[in-house]
Amino acid sequence: MTGEKTSKRRTLLQSLGSLGVASLAGCVSDSLLGNDENGDRGRRGATDGEVTPRPIPSGPADENVRLTAKQGAVQPGGDSGTETWLYDEKFPGPELRIPEGNVLQADVTNQLPEGTTVHWHGIPVPNPMDGVPDVTQDPISNDQTDTYKYRAEPAGTYFYHSHVGLQFDRALVGPLIIEEESPHVEYDREYTVFLDDYLDEAPRLPSSLPGGGPGGDGGGPGGGGGGPGDGGGPGGGGGGGGPGGMGGRDGRGGMGDHRPPYEGMLMNGQLPSDAPTFELTEGERVRFRFVNGSGATTFRVRLAGHRFSVTHADGRPVEPVAVDAFDLGTGERYDAVVEADSPGSWELRADPVDGDETSALGVVQYGESQSGSPRSPSADSRRLQYGDLRALNPIQGISGRPDRSFDLTLSGNMGGSYEWYIDGQAYPDADPLRVSTGDHVRIRMVNRSPVVHPMHLHGHFFQVGDAVKDTVRVPPRMGEVVLDFVADNPGDWLFHCHNIYHLEAGMARVLTYES
């Protein structure tokens, strides 16, 4: 960071430099995820059982990028523009693609009227590079530049976004792909599909919006979150809105699902009136990388006339599973291969599960087909569940009884105060989750609120059943999820709901390593 101000991260970088970063790099060896075609690398030290911090690479970077956060206009429907905040005046931000194992250096300049950071969602970066204000760094001040540097691994579909306040929902977000050298699936071409919800105004907490006053109990501390209900199951994306729920006005999301009044849903930055086109040629195998970069929306994704073969969950390879549809919570990613065997023009649809806004739409168009109105998807007969996912490289070291266990209740007050809690505490006034290096950690979450919570752990992958992920939806109305991971990346890491409004209202804890 230029200027006189010294950030917490700069201080730590200097400390690591005095210790010799190169010596830390020598500690890198086998991965806790195992050695796979994605080239995972772990952080076990020379001494059996020793875990060292993921090192900040020394020397020149292989890939250098510059990002500028600044005010700009977007035109998602091709009509009048809306002023918002962007990376490099693009919406979503520029797609970053880096070969696995290369060192990325990103110089981020802030031209916004307030401080900002960049978080590299899903990538287990060195702790000082994680981009969380007041945890791993001070925000980048106006007209200042800060540098993020890390080795891009493991391969997968990720994204980057601001982690300050509600900036994430202002469009400070973009896709990031770490390219594998030898994919475990064959395909002829690929597309990134970035899903988002669109605000045509500055984001605000729901309690400050018209009609956002007292709205009933959300299972607050000691309160009831409702009995067992149709939460969509562990693989569902159930929510408190949708058909029959308390929706918004004029087709816009409302306070019944406690989401902002979104103008619409976006696919690759476009509203349905200007839907993006994905060209296919008959006989191809096409890889789609789906990213939910929205502020508060769970999407149900379908492609008319075709099935998906899901090959990756949150960037991690899985045994391919054929489905008609899948739900994608905020922060989640799925890769899926489509067999181009049905010439024509077809809708790629992402329906908001929790609200009643118009769906995000794309058009899958075979090059030899005549243009025309694309055909819509029929009702899905098989929707992906978490239990369908089988990681090709399960996490090692989580068999048997855990060393550290946490039983956490997710709840909230959706009335006038609008607060969200983990075990009755709202961040930042919340106790840390303390672990020791090398621990097998188990977290059990029960959701006592009437809305889904996509929970994201920074700096680590975890295992849910047989799937390896970094973000998982906890269904509403007493829905339960259990995750296991190895504490293999020392530092202070945020664990939080990725609905940005729930996070801003307190649904977070810091996972901290005891010395």
pLDDT at site 119: 99
Residues 40 and 243: their CA atoms lie apart, in Å, by: 43
Q: Let me know if residue 276 belongs to a domain.
A: yes
pLDDT at site 443: 99
**39 and 167 together in one domain:** yes
Q: Let me know if residue 361 belongs to a domain.
A: yes
**Where a domain ends, among 128, 147, 182?**
182
What is the mean pLDDT of the segment spanning 212-220? 38
**51 and 178 together in one domain:** yes
**28 and 95 together in one domain:** yes
Q: Let me know if residue 204 belongs to a domain.
A: no
Q: Let me know if residue 260 belongs to a domain.
A: yes
DSSP SS3 for 371: coil
Confidence of residue 415 (pLDDT cuts 50, 70, 90): low
What is the mean pLDDT of the segment spanning 180-203? 93
Does the pLDDT of residue 23 top 50, yes or no? no
pLDDT at site 199: 87
**Placement of tokens 């690479």 in the chain:** 57
Does the pLDDT of residue 303 top 60, yes or no? yes
Does the pLDDT of residue 229 top 80, yes or no? no
Q: Let me know if residue 187 belongs to a domain.
A: no
Confidence of residue 218 (pLDDT cuts 50, 70, 90): very low
Please answer whether residues 515 and 438 qualify as being in contact, where contact means their C-beta atoms are separated by less than 8 angstroms. no
Does the pLDDT of residue 210 top 50, yes or no? no
What is the mean pLDDT of the segment spanning 43-66? 76
Residues 84 and 202: their CA atoms lie apart, in Å, by: 7
pLDDT at site 258: 64
Confidence of residue 377 (pLDDT cuts 50, 70, 90): confident
**Where a domain ends, among 327, 354, 388?**
388
**300 and 347 together in one domain:** yes
What is the mean pLDDT of the segment spanning 21-32? 32
Q: Let me know if residue 221 belongs to a domain.
A: no
Does the pLDDT of residue 27 top 60, yes or no? no
**335 and 427 together in one domain:** no
**274 and 348 together in one domain:** yes
* Average pLDDT taken over every residue of the chain: 83
Does the pLDDT of residue 418 top 90, yes or no? no
* Residues 251-267: tens digit of each pLDDT: 333 334 467 888 899 99
pLDDT at site 203: 86
**384 and 410 together in one domain:** no
How many separate domains does the chain show? 3
Does the pLDDT of residue 208 top 60, yes or no? yes
Residue 357 lies in domain = 228-388
**287 and 408 together in one domain:** no
Q: Let me know if residue 197 belongs to a domain.
A: no
pLDDT at site 515: 74
Confidence of residue 350 (pLDDT cuts 50, 70, 90): very high
Q: Let me know if residue 399 belongs to a domain.
A: no
What lies within 8 Å, CB to CB, of 356 at 6+ separation is 241, 242, 243, 245, 247, 248, 251, 252, 253, 254
Confidence of residue 380 (pLDDT cuts 50, 70, 90): low
pLDDT at site 204: 81
Both tokens of 397, joined, read 């070291």
* Residues 137-167: tens digit of each pLDDT: 999 999 999 999 999 999 999 999 999 999 9
pLDDT at site 202: 82
Q: How many helices (H) and strands (E) does the chain have?
A: 3, 31
* Residues 455-491: tens digit of each pLDDT: 999 999 999 999 999 999 999 999 999 999 999 999 9
Residues 319 and 155: their CA atoms lie apart, in Å, by: 16
**347 and 232 together in one domain:** yes
**382 and 451 together in one domain:** no
Does the pLDDT of residue 247 top 70, yes or no? no
Query: Dihedral of the CA atoms 84, 85, 89, 95 (nearest 10)?
Result: -120
Phi, psi of 272 (to 5 degrees): -55, -25
Confidence of residue 375 (pLDDT cuts 50, 70, 90): confident
**172 and 273 together in one domain:** no
Q: What's the one-letter identity of residue 397?
A: G
**282 and 428 together in one domain:** no
Q: How far is CA 389 from CA 62, 79, 106, 235, 313, in A?
A: 34, 41, 33, 10, 8
pLDDT at site 50: 66
Query: What's the DSSP call for residue 344?
Result: S
DSSP string, 437-494: TT-EEEEEEEE-SSS-EEEEETT--EEETTEEESEEEE-TTTEEEEEEEE--S-SEEE
Please answer whether residues 456 and 20 qualify as being in contact, where contact means their C-beta atoms are separated by less than 8 angstroms. no
pLDDT at site 76: 84
**Where a domain ends, among 327, 353, 388?**
388
Confidence of residue 359 (pLDDT cuts 50, 70, 90): very high
* Residues 308-343: tens digit of each pLDDT: 999 999 999 999 999 999 999 999 999 999 999 999
Which CATH number goes with the domain that contains 494?
2.60.40.420
Residues 510 and 447: their CA atoms lie apart, in Å, by: 19
Give the lowest-confidence range in 45-49, 76-80, 321-325, 501-505: 45-49
**Which spans in 343-465 are helix H?**
none
pLDDT at site 177: 99
Does the pLDDT of residue 68 top 50, yes or no? yes
Does the pLDDT of residue 227 top 50, yes or no? no
